[in-house]
């Protein structure tokens, strides 16, 4: 965002190259046939999951209606949040980007007809642009956010920065030249260059940074610093030569320079071995911490060396018919059960390796059908072809998971993994960890081994879906995604009568924020509690004689926030109906982050003039849900629509005494309305005020607000946009 600072005073007054040819590196036209599932829909939704993981300012094409800009103060904006948490771990992120890039490179030409290529490309660009920004020249940023601290809080990422600001904290970042994470970032950027050359204006930049980061990784040849950091407890690196090997192969494919292939060859003696032997490892698969099998496949393709082709065959045979008396464990239904934690991610990446190998090294091999059956079995198991007859992909197929281990999708307002019971958002396309070793599975949010989701879980899954779309075609869902609507009022008052007598009433009024579309706070909210003062007037008093006493104002506890504005007298509504109003100029006094902050309590008392007797609580409109049939106060707080909620004075929840209603619950604020700078779904004078505050640097604007305010469509917000706003409002 740009500002034209030279005219702020007047603004206030107005306030007034071609790929190297490597035989067999790409497949040809899509095979004919009919698949068991609509793989294009699955791919479409898998990419939606990555959009749910986007950090920083969300791009205009982001399709997630319940997300907004987040962690805008990160040292490096952008990238993907790792899993159900909010840390940006570059090692698994780079692995994920590299594998998705590989799928696009290998099968991209053949998925155009499904309508998904552009979606994959733009999501890939999003994360590669982040890696470019992480390259500081002589070192790289490899992590943003502290995992230990992050995992102490269970809430939506859209509120994380607000929470940290209030606590006086900021997110740390970490830099290194260590080999595994730098090698993997170089691999992702080089693979991205190969996949996007000719379609992305940033492709050359990806290659430039890939080469620089690779130099750092190759020169360091250590993971000591990385493994002694916060990353150790989450994504410790057990080797780095596999990452260098993987990256060197991709750089050779990107540049055609023999030096990179020579580098790759030099790493082979240091690669992983089978336990107790000098034989290169084959009984594992491609994953975030071990890309040796991927690098070996690329090396065999790049060199055409029959010895390394046979090394690839060992892995394929181990996964299928067995090799040297050894084979992977198979569950009923054919799933390769490679590891307990997140078993489906391993099965999919093994399937992807088998698909690429079959289409390149073994396309005329006698075992082609065996290898083909293997990779199709893995993807189909995930999508529903399994003994439980269920999909393991959120929002896809039959009986998919619902309560995945993901903070933002869960939507808790009180830092509680068990509240609410059911996830509030559908995390479309997320592949869960998968079944246990006996084939059982429980849709339990607390079971992060089987029900967590992560960027690396979806990587091999996404790449293999590219293959399946290439082979079987299919189409994405035209109407996807359907915009989510809130599961109830996002703002309301939970009220309870604490004491009731003939002389008056005392109340607990808890203004409540359960926003999740997106999770947010908003300034200038207010609510009204209504009473009927007929009995006061009949005794010869005036409504303004009623004593309004404030016994507690929770907002006053928060020194960093402007406290509530509470009327100290009754305000006339209509006829004999009056109200007291509580206004919150600063929305941070009630935020959906934890038990003590998602509600802000005001305790008020209304007392008959001169403490006389005669107060009638039964005729007071806002008490309609707070009393039982006998007129006794209920013992628990009640959410009532008879205490109405407003934003900037406009009714957004509840029904006023005369029947005026807000209708639908609060609309999400992420709108596309020109002029709507405060993102309330309308274009009013309030937007002019917000624009002026921006121009004099009193506030910042989200990316959507900036776009809405740019009426001149020149990429700048200045006085000329302000003039157009005023002219439009004045018609």
Query: What is the dotted CATH code of the domain comprising 491-653?
Result: 2.60.40.710
* pLDDT, position 663: 63
The domain spans of the chain are 39-472, 491-653
> pLDDT: is 253 or 724 the higher one?
253
Q: In what helix (H) or strand (E) does residue 100 lie, and over which residues does it extend?
A: helix 90-107
Q: In what helix (H) or strand (E) does residue 312 lie, and over which residues does it extend?
A: helix 306-319
Instruction: Establish whether domains 39-472 and 491-653 are of one fold.
Output: no
Q: In what helix (H) or strand (E) does residue 652 lie, and over which residues does it extend?
A: strand 650-653
* pLDDT, position 561: 95
Write phi, then psi, for 578 (nearest 5 degrees): -130, 170
* pLDDT, position 681: 75
Mind listing the pLDDT tens digit for each residue in 69-126?
999 999 999 999 999 999 999 999 999 999 999 999 999 999 999 999 999 999 999 9
Q: Mark 492-515 as b/e (b = at least 16 C-beta within 10 Å).
A: bbbbbbeebeebbbbbbbbbbbbb
15 burial type by CB count under 10 A (0-12 exposed, 13-18 middle, 19+ buried): middle
Of the CA atoms within 13 Å of residue 72, those in its CB half-sphere come to 14
Is 313's pLDDT higher than 60? yes
* pLDDT, position 671: 57
pTM, entire model: 0.86
Percentages helix, strand, coil for the chain, rounded to the nearest 5?
Answer: 40, 15, 45
Is 700's pLDDT higher than 60? yes
> pLDDT: is 716 or 419 the higher one?
419
Q: Mean of the pLDDT values across residues 338-358?
A: 97
Is 31's pLDDT higher than 50? no
Q: Mean of the pLDDT values across residues 659-664?
A: 78
Mind listing the pLDDT tens digit for each residue in 74-90?
999 999 999 999 999 99
Q: How confident is the model at residue 30 (pLDDT cuts 50, 70, 90)?
A: very low
User: Helix, strand, or coil here: 316?
Assistant: helix
* pLDDT, position 678: 84
- HEC per residue, 667-698: CCCCCCCCCCCCCCCCCCHHHHHHHHHHHCCC
In the CATH hierarchy, which top-level class contains the domain 39-472?
mainly alpha
Q: In what helix (H) or strand (E) does residue 88 lie, and over which residues does it extend?
A: strand 88-89
* pLDDT, position 9: 33
Q: How confident is the model at residue 729 (pLDDT cuts 50, 70, 90)?
A: confident
Which tokens go with 504? 């008056």
Which tokens go with 637? 């707080």
Q: Mean of the pLDDT values across residues 319-343?
A: 97
Q: Among all residues, which ones are annotated catalytic? A: 85, 405, 443, 452
Q: How confident is the model at residue 251 (pLDDT cuts 50, 70, 90)?
A: very high
């Amino acid at each position: 965002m740009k500002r034209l600072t030279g005219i702020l005073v007047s603004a206030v007054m107005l306030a007034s190259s071609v790929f190297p040819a490597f035989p067999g590196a790409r497949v040809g036209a899509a095979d004919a046939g009919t698949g068991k599932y609509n793989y294009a829909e699955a791919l479409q939704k898998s990419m939606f999951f990555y959009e749910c993981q986007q950090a920083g300012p969300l791009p205009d094409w982001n399709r997630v209606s319940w997300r907004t800009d987040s962690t805008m103060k990160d040292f490096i904006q952008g990238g993907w949040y790792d899993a159900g948490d909010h840390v940006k771990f570059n090692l698994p992120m780079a692995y994920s980007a590299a594998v998705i890039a590989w799928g696009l490179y290998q099968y991209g030409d053949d998925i155009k007809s499904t309508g998904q290529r552009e979606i994959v490309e733009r999501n890939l660009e999003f994360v590669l642009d982040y890696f470019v920004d992480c390259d500081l020249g002589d070192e790289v940023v490899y992590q943003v956010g502290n995992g230990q601290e992050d995992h102490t809080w269970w809430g939506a990422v859209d509120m994380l920065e607000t929470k940290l600001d209030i606590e006086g904290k900021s997110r740390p970042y970490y830099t290194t030249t260590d080999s595994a994470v730098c090698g993997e970032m170089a691999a992702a950027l080089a693979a991205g260059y190969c996949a996007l050359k000719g379609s992305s204006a940033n492709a050359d930049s990806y290659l430039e940074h890939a080469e620089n980061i690779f130099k750092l990784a190759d020169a360091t040849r250590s993971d000591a610093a990385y493994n002694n950091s916060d990353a150790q407890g989450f994504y410790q690196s057990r080797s780095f030569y596999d990452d260098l090997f993987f990256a060197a192969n991709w750089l050779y494919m990107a540049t055609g320079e023999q030096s990179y292939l020579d580098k790759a060859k030099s790493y082979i003696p240091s690669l992983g071995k089978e336990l107790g032997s000098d034989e290169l490892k084959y009984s594992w698969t491609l994953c975030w911490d071990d890309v040796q099998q991927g690098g070996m496949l690329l090396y065999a393709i790049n060199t055409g060396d029959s010895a390394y082709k046979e090394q690839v065959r060992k892995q394929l045979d181990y996964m299928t018919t067995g090799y040297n008396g050894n084979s992977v464990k198979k569950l009923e239904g054919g799933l390769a059960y490679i590891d307990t934690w997140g078993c489906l991610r391993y099965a999919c990446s093994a399937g992807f390796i088998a698909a690429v190998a079959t289409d390149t090294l073994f396309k005329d091999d006698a075992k082609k059908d065996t290898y083909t059956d293997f990779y199709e079995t893995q993807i189909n198991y995930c999508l529903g072809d399994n003994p439980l007859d269920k999909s393991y992909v959120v929002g896809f197929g039959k009986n998919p998971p619902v309560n995945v281990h993901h903070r933002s999708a869960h939507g808790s307002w009180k830092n509680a993994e068990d509240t609410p019971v059911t996830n509030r958002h559908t995390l479309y396309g997320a592949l869960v960890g998968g079944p246990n070793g006996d084939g059982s599975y429980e849709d339990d949010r607390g079971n992060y081994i089987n029900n967590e989701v992560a960027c690396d879980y979806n990587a091999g899954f996404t790449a293999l879906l590219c293959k399946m779309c290439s082979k079987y075609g299919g189409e994405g869902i035209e109407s996807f995604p359907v915009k989510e609507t809130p599961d109830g009022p996002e703002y309301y008052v939970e009220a309870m009568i604490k004491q009731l007598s003939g002389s008056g009433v005392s109340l607990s009024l808890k203004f409540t924020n359960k926003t999740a579309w997106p999770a947010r706070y908003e300034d200038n909210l207010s609510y009204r509690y209504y009473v009927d003062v007929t009995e006061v007037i009949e005794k010869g008093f005036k409504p303004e004689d009623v004593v309004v006493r404030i016994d507690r104002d929770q907002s006053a506890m928060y020194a960093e926030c402007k406290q509530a504005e509470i009327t100290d007298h009754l305000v006339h509504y209509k006829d004999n109906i009056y109200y007291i109003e509580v206004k919150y100029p600063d929305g941070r006094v009630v935020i959906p982050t934890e038990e003590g902050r998602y509600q802000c309590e005001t305790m008020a008392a209304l007392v008959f003039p001169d403490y006389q007797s005669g107060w009638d609580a039964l005729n007071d409109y806002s008490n309609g849900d707070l009393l039982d049939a006998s007129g006794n106060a209920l013992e628990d707080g009640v959410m009532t629509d008879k205490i109405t909620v407003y934003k900037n004075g406009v009714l957004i929840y509840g029904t006023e005494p005369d029947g005026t209603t807000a209708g639908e619950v609060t609309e999400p604020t992420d709108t596309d309305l020109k002029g709507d700078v405060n993102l309330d779904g309308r274009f009013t004078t309030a937007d002019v005020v917000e624009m002026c505050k921006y121009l004099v640097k009193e506030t910042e604007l989200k990316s959507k607000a900036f776009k809405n305010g740019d009426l001149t469509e020149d990429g700048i917000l200045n006085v000329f946009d302000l003039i157009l706003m005023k002219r439009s409002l004045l018609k």
